[in-house]
Amino acid sequence: MKYVVLIYGNPESRTAWAGMPEEQRAAGLAYYQQLNDDLDASGERVVSERLADVSLTKQVSVQNERTITTDGPFAEVKEFLAGFYLLDCESLDRAVEIAARIPEARFAKVEVRPVMGLHGDEM
């Protein structure tokens, strides 16, 4: 079963991260590396990425067949998508167990959503 883990940041979590001493930040990154290594070893990580700053977002819309982009948001938003994992694991319980290892689960927000597939039972 595939699950997406969505990791949200918020202004407080970002400030806390920026204010951390160097060693603590390095430890945080090492912690993520360990998580990724573990998930690679078990074959459960399909892909994961950390996203660039929310201010680098391009919002895209098509109006009258023209593509229009707007930058931002720049103003402090309450929460923003900061990264994601695509997992392929045995069950929702296992996906939740993995999500709980993500540091943001302690001070920001982490969501687990099942991915839809092309399977279809006979009705």
Partner 1 sequence: MTTPPIAGLLRELAPQVLGALVRRYGGFDTCEDAVQEALLAAATQWPVEGIPASPKGWLITTASRRRIELWRADTARQRREETVAALAPPDPDPAPAVDDSLTLLLLCCHPSLTAPSQVALTLRAVGGLTTAEIARAFLVPEATIAQRISRAKQRVKAAGAEFRLPGADRAERFAAVLQVLYLIFTEGHTVSSGAVVNRVELTAEAIRLVRQLRAELPEDGEVAGLLALMLLTEARRPARTRADGALVPLAEQDRRRWDAGAIAEGVELITTSLATTPVGPYQLQAAIAAVHAEAAKAEDTDWPQILTLYDLLRTVAPGPMVTLNRVVAVAMVRGPDLALAELADAERDPVLAKHYRLDAVRAHLLDQRGDREGAREHYLAAARRTLSIPERAYLESRAALLA
List residues binding partner 1 (CB under 8 A). Answer: 1-2, 40-47, 88-90, 114-123
Fill in the amino acid letter for 4.
V
In the complex, the smallest distance separating the C-beta of residue 46 from partner 1, rounded to whole angstroms, is: 6
Distance, in Å, from the CA atom of 45 to the CA atom of 26, rounded to the nearest integer, reads 22
Query: In this complex, which beta carbon is closest to partner 1, that of residue 46 or of residue 51?
Result: 46
Query: In this complex, which beta carbon is closest to partner 1, that of residue 35 or of residue 77?
Result: 35
For the purposes of burial, counting CB atoms within 10 Å of the CB of 27, is it exposed (0-12), middle (13-18) or buried (19 or more)? exposed
Q: Residue 78 in 3-state DSSP?
A: coil
Query: In this complex, which beta carbon is closest to partner 1, that of residue 56 or of residue 116?
Result: 116
In the complex, the smallest distance separating the C-beta of residue 92 from partner 1, rounded to whole angstroms, is: 10
In the complex, the smallest distance separating the C-beta of residue 50 from partner 1, rounded to whole angstroms, is: 19
104 close to 82: Cβ distance less than 8 angstroms: yes
In the complex, the smallest distance separating the C-beta of residue 41 from partner 1, rounded to whole angstroms, is: 6
Query: In this complex, which beta carbon is closest to partner 1, that of residue 42 or of residue 59?
Result: 42
Query: Tokens 């927000």 correspond to what residue?
Result: 109
Count the neighbouring beta carbons within 10 Å of the beta carbon of residue 119. Answer: 5
